[in-house]
A and B are shown apart, each in its own frame.
Chain A
């Protein structure tokens, strides 16, 4: 697989926030101002991660406008919205993947267990071990299946010996629901698996670091419906042990896997609430338009 698309994705992240379809007279700032405050409950009782007044800038262009949002323990929160609404950008702020884009600047408070993740004392390496990420396109390393999963634990020294590491690999593969399919070929390249298997391998790889939060950036967009169903099932199981934030373009998927849903528009969090509420009884006009398919 020649993978130039992720680079394109990063560019897309930048560009789509810069050149959006803006109605003629209004600037993005004016539209955002007209959207008003976020509708619904942004705070929860047991926040794992919490964003307060988060703004993200790509050079001079603002991509995210004053977002307040909590991610609770053991919940799946889905982020939906039209392309370029900043949901991926926000997701990438949560484990500081945006650090790799030099022109990206983040302001506001983002905390993990009450600790500021952009603080001086926070190490992005440690943060990413606690907040794992699954990407849009399956991206296993060009190494064996075993090595793919063992890489994280080895990196962080999570295993004391070989048996320990074997144990972590097998448990992670089992949790990702792929163990039975690959147990006979752990030494074969992870890139030889099918797309859906690769994505589950990537999830296993993320789990192997025993993170507390898992961020998923459109994890099923490159997969067929059967593989998607398997991943969704897996997300539901993982909820028991992890907090999960998932960005998706499929509203059905959001409805199926998440407990809460956040709707973004042009970098602004428009509405957030229980998934059932949002989909049956959206309060904001834009949310209603989006989920009923009138635009987006």
Chain B
């Protein structure tokens, strides 16, 4: 009895410490989660605040007269003449009409900067769609130049001496008077989603990089998924276990840890220099990223295959299924959720990869939106990298907006994977 009481006392003494330990541990965990959430929130808020202005664009309302003389068109202009016509001249005329007291050459130059260079393309599009407009007067909304956009956003410090800023006092006056007349409006920035890269911040769009990323990922998925799953199936289900398969396994594990730029060098040497595939093309990008993604998918696929209960294999074998039937009727469907998880991790990695693509020329300045896997293209992370590098203030918000697009792309991709996984998931 005496002994027993001693035991109880000893246990009771330690029990307090044990509970305290558990409490402490839980607290650490909570702190870890809260701090990581805080970092995440900080990141997303910063990017959103910085990037949001890029989704809107300011427009100036102008009365434009499309007279033949200024446009430099004859009586019966053909398409190429319409394309080459001097739309810029009409915009300049209209600006001068708006502010008739501007006469100095220097001031005129500043005045012309109010409207983006993209304005003439808008006019060109309109006229080419409907040549009847020539000779008419009309009221149009044209995008503002990037300096005006920056000013309207409130990013220009007008207390600075005029010499130290790009946006001059006289311009501030013009914009303010336009604003008073209701000739300036803020609208959704369609250009950002409809055009490719540009040297002018207000004309630069994400579409080229977005399509480049999509095409590259399609190539990556089409190559790496079947190859990786087939490799995993063979290694896990059919290959004999010997020194060769061990060697292959070790090498696959090592490949997963190779720095991605090495794959870029390989792609440059093999795909471009040896096979002469086009430079900067999503095809080559996809090939290089497949090489990088393969080990990831193979490793996770093998783990998924391994986790299929052997009793299911026994059951199917016992009913007279061949090895191939066992694998394709039972093992593979049961392993599919795991394989898809691995695939999505690999694809997310591929989506965010920059370094290997720099090596194969996907860093070039490409204005056109790619439509095929052999078109020159760039991808979202490279686009972000390029824009982050540019000096114009307008690109700061573009960079953040591009990051938002990249994150949205990633979320859509993950959501799709989660949906597929749920669909394939079965209980046993």
Contacts and interface: CB of A to CB of B under 8 A. Distances in A.
A131 to B, nearest CB: 9
Interface residues of A, number: 37
Given A135-B315, A191-B428, A128 B310 contact: no
Nearest to B306: A7
Interface string B237-255: 0001100000000000000
A135 B428 contact: no
A129 B311 contact: no
A142 B426 CA distance: 7
B319 A139 contact: no
A141 B318 contact: no
Contacts of B330: 141
A281 interface: no
Interface string B306-336: 0001111111111111100100011000100
Nearest to A126: B320
B109 interface: no
Interface centre among A4, A139, A191 (most CB of B within 10 A): A139
Given A2-B309, A189-B427, A155 B317 contact: no
Interface string A134-153: 11010111110000000110
Given A3-B311, A4-B309, A142-B334, A155 B319 contact: yes
Given A142-B334, A142-B428, A189-B427, A152 B314 contact: no
Interface string A1-31: 1111111001000000000000000000000
Interface in A158-198: 189, 191
Contacts of B427: 142, 189, 191
B319 A3 contact: no
Contacts of A134: 318
Given A141-B330, A155-B325, A1 B319 contact: no
Nearest to A156: B320
Contacts of A7: 309-310
A85 interface: no
A95 interface: yes
A141 B310 contact: no
A97 to B, nearest CB: 6
Contacts of B313: 100
Nearest to A3: B309
A58 to B, nearest CB: 15
B327 to A, nearest CB: 13
Given A6-B311, A141-B312, A95 B428 contact: no
A169 to B, nearest CB: 14
A206 interface: yes
A100 B317 contact: yes
Contacts of A47: none
A127 B309 CA distance: 24
Nearest to A138: B311
A141 B315 contact: yes
29 contacts: A3-B309, A6-B310, A6-B311, A6-B314, A7-B309, A7-B310, A10-B310, A97-B314, A97-B318, A100-B313, A125-B322, A126-B320, A128-B318, A128-B320, A129-B320, A132-B318, A134-B318, A135-B315, A139-B311, A139-B314, A141-B312, A141-B316, A142-B426, A151-B316, A152-B319, A155-B321, A189-B427, A191-B428, A206-B318
Interface of B: 240-241, 309-322, 325, 329-330, 334, 426-428
